[in-house]
Amino acid sequence: MKSKRELGIVIYGATGYTGRLVVEYFNRQYGVDGDISWAMAGRSLDKLISVRDELGVDESVPLVVADAADPQSLEAMVQRAAIILTTVGPYQLYGSELVAACASFGTDYVDLCGEPVWMHQMINQHTQAAMESGARIIFSCGFDSIPFDMGVFFLQQTAISRMAKTASRVKGRVRQMKGSFSGGTQASFTATMAAAGRDPAVIEVLKDPFALSNNHPGPEQPRGNQPFFDDALQSWVAPFVMASINTKNIHRSNFLLGHQYGANFVYDEMFVTGPGDAGEKLARAMATGNALGDKVLQPGEGPSKEERDNGGFDILMIGEADDGGEVRISVTGDCDPGYGSTSKMVAESAICLLRNADIVEGGIWTPAPAMGSLLIRRLRDFAGLTFVDETLDS
């Protein structure tokens, strides 16, 4: 049983850029004296010791040597742990053996994946094994896609409370996002594009909003690839770089929730650029520019502490019912979305699983159907996120 295992949460990739942020969060928030058992894992014992000492982590925190190129070391790590929290990407290059091991040995798993083609493959290959072993495998527990996936879940709960029905149409609108991308994000994007160049089937998965929904397609979805003037906001909006992965995860959540959002649920995601000529100009520039920026970073690089602390995000979601009823909610974060906020989100996802052994059965999940309101509460209490009902009362 997972509850009897030697280690609680193992942070795999603890010496990498994002892994170090997760370690810092665990050390600051939970230390070593509470009821959260955690360990650091990576390829090199010397690097683990160095990072542990540099970050002021107590020597009692276990260090685990494991390497994606050595499946036996992964299996040994997985069998010791209740949960693996992995930041080792690109996952399509370094994550497959770990998912297979977790599914086989019944070990829970959370990651930061925004690679839908790889996720599609893992769902097809390991769902049955995870269901049989009891492993709860949850992808995309960072900025992609928790604020959006949990945001739609919160909106639908709000809609049920206010209108006694869910919203069949939800518009995700990013009002503000201040932060930057790391070398790991760029490496994942590069690996995905390389895979698409080798295999045309990859392009089909990338284009399909229902690619993660177990062959349960839905209605035609907005393409979101062109700027337009959004009447609901009286503002121009531009394509949002993360819409492709977020949309796939949200439709998978709807599928896993038994189509609670409706069999004809429609979702799109855009970035708000403002009204008038200035808004239109910015929207058109964003639609044709390089979404990841021109600066080339290496894995292990990313925004500075000052940039992370000064970052943030603000997402508005507008839910529309078939009879014209409307609800609006917002999701905000208090620091750089991709790293400062992401490190807290993935940590709290792992802790939510650790503290709620019976919250969901084994299988491959998205955050909302797996953890629902329990995770929203943790994100509010500890991770600096807000979920607010902005609906105007008539």
pLDDT in tens, 15-43: 999 999 999 999 999 988 778 899 999 99
What's the pLDDT score for residue 126?
98
Entry field: residues in the chain = 394
Span 108-122, mean pLDDT? 95
Using a pLDDT cut of 70, give the percent of the chain over it.
Answer: 93
**pLDDT at residue 216, rounded to an integer:** 87
Distance CA 373, CA 335 (A): 22
**Residue 369 CB: number of other CB atoms within 10 A?**
20
Q: What is the pLDDT of residues 208-256, one digit of tens each?
A: 999 999 888 899 999 888 999 999 899 999 999 889 999 999 999 999 9
pLDDT given at position 308: 86
Q: At what angle do helices 146-163 and 243-256 cross, to 10 degrees?
A: 50
Task: Work out the average pLDDT over 34-53.
Answer: 95
Confidence band (pLDDT; 50, 70, 90) for 203? confident
pLDDT at site 139 = 98
Least confident piece of the model among 14-28, 48-62, 198-212: 198-212
pLDDT of 202 reads 73
Q: Which of 162-166, 266-270, 286-290, 327-331 has the lowest mean pLDDT?
A: 286-290
User: The whole model's pTM is what?
Assistant: 0.94
Across 152-156, 177-181, 268-272, 364-368, least confident range: 177-181
The 3-class secondary structure across 174-215, one letter per residue, is EEEEECCCCHHHHHHHHHHHHHHHHCHHHHHHHHCCCCCCCC
pLDDT at 303 over 90: no
Q: Give the pLDDT confidence score for residue 4 in this predicted structure.
A: 83
Q: What is the 3-state secondary structure (H, E, C) of 116-162?
A: HHHHHHHHHHHHHHHHHHCCEEECCCECCEHHHHHHHHHHHHHHHHH
DSSP one-letter code for 292 = T
pLDDT of residue 205: 83
Average pLDDT, the chain: 92
Burial profile 133-151: b = 16 or more Cβ within 10 angstroms, e = fewer: bbbbbbbbbbbbbbbbbbb
Confidence at residue 35, expressed as pLDDT on a 0 to 100 scale: 82
pLDDT above 60 (res 296): no
Q: Please state the rounded mean pLDDT for residues 127-145.
A: 97
Give the confidence band of 171 by pLDDT, cuts at 50, 70, 90: very high
- Two tokens at 266? 């429609």
Instruction: Please report, rounded to a whole number, the percentage of residues in the chain having pLDDT higher than 90.
Output: 79
CATH number of 2-142+345-368: 3.40.50.720
CB atoms within 10 A of CB 183: 17
Task: Label residue 299 by pLDDT band (50, 70, 90).
Answer: low
Q: When comparing pLDDT for 170 and 224, which is higher?
A: 170
CA dihedral 195, 197, 201, 206 (to 10 degrees): 70
At 241 the pLDDT is 87
Average pLDDT rounded to a whole number, residues 108-117: 95
